[in-house]
Structure 1
Amino acid sequence: MSDSASSPAPHQPPSPPKTKPGSLLRSSLLTGSMTMVSRVLGLIRDIVLAAVLGAGGAMDAFAIAQKIPNFFRRLFAEGAFSQAFIPVLSEYREKGTHAAVKELVDKVAGCLGSILLLFTLIGVAGAVGFAYVFGYGYADEPEKFSLLVELVRITFPYLMLISLTGFAGAILNSYDRFAIPAVTPIFLNIFMIAAALLVADFFPNPAYALAWSIVAAGVFSLLFQLPFLKQIHLMPSPKLDWSHPGVKRILVLMTPALFGVSVSQLNLLLDSVIATMLGDGAVSWLFYSDRLVELPLGVFGVAIATVIMPGLSRLSAAQSGEKFSQMLDWAIRFVVLIALPATLALIILAEPILYTLFYHGEMKQTDILMSAYSLKAYALGLFAFMLIKVLVPGYFARQDMKTPVRIGIIAIGANILMKPLVVIPLVMLWGLGHVGLAFTTAMAAYVNAWLLYRGLRRAGVYTPSDQWVKLWLRYGAANGAMVAVLLAFLWHWNLWVDWPALERVIRLGILCAAGFAAYLLALLAVGVRLRDFKAQP
């Protein structure tokens, strides 16, 4: 089929997608599968990082350096911007012409691009300041701090590149082209793996090769998206116009959302800053444990949120309140289905997973044990992290940016108040301050999720279905079966540190397969069926 046949004419509005039974499920599974590939490659990347850099030293500096542009990326691209942009774009698409949509895209591209360029130049020029703020604990370690500054200077342009990639992805998601934005993160992992294995030896420190690979991946990711924008006749022609009504609306919506959508990121960032003051290795231990929690969060939580955001925005614009509530209920049910077993599995299998993935090269047994402690603490918050991903769109799709901000302030305040109460005793008694950081972040996520949920209920936006009592009993029984199987295996398999790498891989594979089979069979036994997740608007 030709491009002209498969895409709307340049001056004709695209036909709105028809919602079919099971379309959300299919879209979520498609996006999740693409993201799964990316996350698996991300695990391979982290395995390579552990072998090349280990924990502490250069790895600490690299973890902080790459976190800085990623933090701001989530503000500009995946966070406040996309949550403000998609509802406005959906409204233009629902009520206006394709020409109006194209004009909005052009003006947003010009304004967003100018902000990103200016901020990137400030970041590169002020790398010392950013390194001091984000890596405060390294200020009295000249060698590590100098490395951190240089890595920040190299990686900061990634912010602009990946934020523009996120802008392109938001447009594609709004037109239900979920696969392309979902597959794009794969490139970062491929570039970093290639840099670590092929060119790291040509640099004085492998961290430099990894930093440059991040920038190269950003360029490639942006270029990869452009042809698909052209297919839907929305290739941006950037124009700087701050007076455009759509741009002004996005800025108004985005300003409070900058804070509200990034609460969990601010909490994680706070962990990293404090971790720089807890001694060598603490940042790396949190990095490795956080990466494992990000696997189910990124594959399922982000996928579900990505899929429902355009749909919720369209339903809000069409004033379909009942269907809006049903879509939220569907998303929450899906989160419970995935998050509870993932949480329990990560807590129970923390040591086997870490030994299997990272116990080689520069990684020591102490690093594995310390990472396992923080992995268990982070995993406690996985359900809340995923729930936040699907509750926040319930506000932003209705262009309510202020409520998540108020809730975010409360959650961050709770996190800050809890940290001295938890971290200081753990540091003084057992030297496990990094575990306290992870635990308080997890608990703050529950504060955030509960307040978001309560706000939607009180506003009458979300009304849970009458099936929840039965669902909780069913999910509880299935999770109990999975836990029993995993604990039975681990009762006999407890020598992970002594087994060779291949044996660890085989045994972990058997463990995961047995746990998954027990969960799936138990779900079927208590009456849960796939068709239950196809009944959505």
Structure 2
Amino acid sequence: MAGKKVIKSSIIVMVLIILGKVLALVRDALIAAQFGVTYVTDIYNFALGMVYLLTTVSYGLTTTFIPLHTENLQNSTKRASNRFVNNVINLYSIFTIIVMVLLIVFSKYIIYVFGHGFGNDPNVFSAAVEINRIMMLSLIFVSLQSVVTGVLQSHKEFYEPAAMAMVSNIVYVIYLVFLTNKFGIKGFAIATVVGFFIQFLINVPKYKRLGYRYERIVDLKDKQILSMFKLMVPVIISTSVVQLNAFVNRSFATNIFFGAVTVLDCANKINTLAYEVFAIGIAMIVYPTLSELAAKEDKIEYKKALGKSISTIMLIMVPAAVAIAVMRVPLITVIFKRGAFGSEAVDLTASALLFYAPAMIAYGVRDILNKAFYSIKDTKTPMINSFIGIIMNIIINIIIMKYMKVSGLTLATTISAVVTTILMALDLNKKLKGIELKKMWNSFLKILLSSGIMGITLFFVNKMVMLKVGTVDEMVGSLISLIISFVLGSITYCICLYFVKVEEFKYLIDNIRSKIA
């Protein structure tokens, strides 16, 4: 019964995540249609990037809070657990409010330093400062939700946290459809703050039903608080690399041309779609298993679980990256091409997306490697690796941006992601005295071969469909091409996996057969 409950919960959580992603695509399509590739969307994306960059602190808090609170639930009284939760809420809220006020007050200088391209036009600069100040108000709701969702996950309540993206995207879609013409980008910035508030709000009823009540307590001397804050620092740095790289890229993009930040952001949204739905979920599931095996010092089973996890990630991410690279134009056309987002914007975004695609694979594998290091209580190695990645990204940006423009920024991200992931794998291999790298490499080559054949199939299918239908109606042709390509590409990929005998695929097929039987 327990197994069935886990499967049911996993399916519901996955459905909620996918619904959130579908609504996110609708939101992005509406943003593109309403604002296009202009300085207006650049300003909004820059400010949102600032918020996401700072939410890495909240992610670090949640990551370190969950095991500490789980321990409290097992070993302490309900009152002691409630006291710890409220102490975290109060201390973190005070910290967030101070940071938020400073960021609002010094917004002019933040824009000048990190978005100096906006300073070329006084009106653009003024608008950037105003939008940034509005968006910073989101931080207080982000901080509150990070603790409340941590509490819920400690109690194995996942539905509300999984639904957060869905409910906030509903708010954004409603605004973009009905209110954009009246209130513009400033109103959308306010709607974004409301969206973050709603994300926090939907978690509160379940939080209260679990028996938690607010208390005014601020105790900096609490040993658990001190332990949590010490653990947070390396976790924040090591898990923030994606947002930090995105922020660095946005900063560089403000100097290329108006709309470059939006092109970069659109490419990133498409590229991280499969990564955020599947890779993050797999990493979340495998983390407790690795932690348990590490605690038992069962090195053989630990390495097997790690190897299977990485191979499973590659089984999904490699074909997804190939498919996105090949089908980038119809994908961008269907999602974004409408209103102010025209053919030139599609071409620019497609070029950037082509060089972005391999990064998806690296990010997925690196998530598993990060969890592996955390499970053996090594938080320093991922942190150092993150520093290497960011520095490498900046250096490559400086070298190739003037030659490749936005595509150079995405290529730099991919190179730094691939190199740092390889370094992480080698470090873990050394630390654990072997993690079956040869076996993983063989699986990768088989998956890459299968994905390559699938990619060739997609290329010709897309070409034929666009010649027959796309010349009459590009949008309809792109949509039909995506549907047919998805079906034929999936069949081709699975057939190839079967013939090259990928172990993880065979394991999946055997499981499906046993379920049917």
1:71-86 matches, within 5 Å, as 71-73=53-55, 75-78=56-59, 80-86=60-66
Contact 2:310 2:440 in 1 (8 A): no
Per-residue deviation at 1:168? 2.0
Work out whether residues 109 and 236 of structure 1, in 8 Å CA contact, stay in contact via their aligned partners in 2: no
Match of 1:393 in 2: 371
Which segment drifts farther, 128-137 or 313-322?
Answer: 313-322
1:287 aligns with 2:274: no
Q: What is the aligned partner in structure 1 of residue 386 from structure 2?
A: 408
Q: Which moves more between the two structures, 187-196 or 124-133?
A: 124-133
- Which deviations, in whole Å up to 9, do the C-alpha atoms of 1:316-336 show, x marking residues without a partner? 556555554444334312211
Q: Is the Cα contact below 8 Å between 2:327 and 2:459 reproduced in 1?
A: no
Partners of 1:213 and 1:38 in 2: CA distance: 17
Q: What residue is the counterpart of 1:418 in the other structure? A: 396
State whether structure 2 residue 193 is matched by structure 1 residue 215. yes
* C-alpha separation in 2, matches of 1:456 and 1:142: 50
Kindly state the Cα deviation for residue 64 of structure 1 after the two structures are TM-superposed: 0.8
Please name the residue that 1:308 is paired with. Answer: 286
TM-superposed CA distance for 1:281, in Å, is 1.3
Which aligned pairs between 1:444-463 and structure 2 lie closer than 5 A? 444-460=416-432, 463=435
Determine which of 119, 125, 136 is the counterpart of 1:139: 119
Spell out, residue by residue over 1:23-48, the C-alpha distance to the aligned partner (whole angstroms, 9 max, x if none): 5x776554333211111110110100
**Is the 1:90–1:314 contact (alpha carbons within 8 Å) kept by the matching residues of 2?**
no
TM-aligned CA distance change 1:321 to 1:171, over 3 Å = farther
For 1:296 and 1:394, how far apart are their aligned partners in 2? 22
**Which residue number corresponds to residue 50 of structure 1?**
32
CA distance, structure 1, for counterparts of residue 126 and residue 471 of structure 2: 35
Q: Distance in 2 between matches of 1:111 and 1:361?
A: 46
Query: Which among 55, 59, 62 is matched to residue 44 of structure 2?
Result: 62
How far did residue 304 of structure 1 move? 1.9
Compared with structure 1, are the counterparts of its residues 456 and 171 closer, same or farther at alpha carbon in structure 2 (3 Å cutoff)?
Answer: farther
Report % sequence identity: 23
- Give the one of 118, 129, 132 matched to 1:149: 129
Letter in 2 for 1:408: S
Aligned AA (1:508): L
1:117 aligns with 2:97: yes
The counterpart of 1:436, out of the listed 399, 408, 413, is: 408
Q: Are 1:83 and 1:393, in contact at CA under 8 Å, matched by a contact in 2?
A: no
Please, what is the CA RMSD of the aligned residues? 2.7
Q: State the distance in 2 between where 1:209 and 1:286 align.
A: 23
Does structure 1 residue 178 correspond to structure 2 residue 158? Answer: yes
| Structure 1 gaps, min length 5 | 1-17, 427-432
Once the two structures are TM-superposed, the CA of residue 515 in structure 1 deviates from its matched residue by: 1.5
More helix by share: 2
1:145-179 CA deviation, whole Å, 9 max, x = no partner? 11111111111111221232132222323333233
* Per-residue deviation, 1:227: 1.8
For the pair 1:504 / 2:478, whether they are aligned, the reply is yes
Distance 1:310 1:170, change over 3 A: farther
Aligned residue for 2:339, secondary structure, equals: coil
Q: Which moved more, 1:142-151 or 1:42-51?
A: 142-151
Q: TM-score, normalised by structure 2?
A: 0.90
Q: What is the deviation of 1:251? A: 0.7
Q: Could you tell me which residue of structure 2 aligns to residue 197 of structure 1?
A: 177
8 Å CA contact 1:286–1:434 kept in 2: the answer is yes
1:205-252 Cα deviation digits (max 9, x unpaired): x21121111111111111110122234334554621111111101111
Higher relative contact order (CA 8 A, sep 6+): 1
Task: Give me the whole-angstrom Cα distance separating, in 2, the residues matched to 1:416 and 1:407.
Answer: 14
Label 1:336 to 1:483 Cα distance change in 2 as closer, same or farther (>3 A). same
Count of paired positions: 506
Residues 503 and 82 from structure 1, CA distance in 2 versus in 1: closer, same or farther, beyond 3 angstroms?
A: same
Following the alignment from structure 1 to structure 2, what is the Cα–Cα distance between the partners of residues 497 and 147?
A: 40
- Listed one character per residue, the Cα deviations across residues 486-532 of structure 1 (whole Å, up to 9, x for unaligned) are 02213323454762433432232222222123223444554624267
Q: 1:455 to 1:236 in 2, by over 3 A?
A: farther
CA distance, structure 1, for counterparts of residue 212 and residue 415 of structure 2: 42
Change (3 A) 1:26 1:419: farther
Q: Is the 8 A contact 2:462 2:481 kept in 1?
A: no
- Which residue matches 1:519? 493
> Unpaired segments of 5 or more residues in structure 2?
513-517
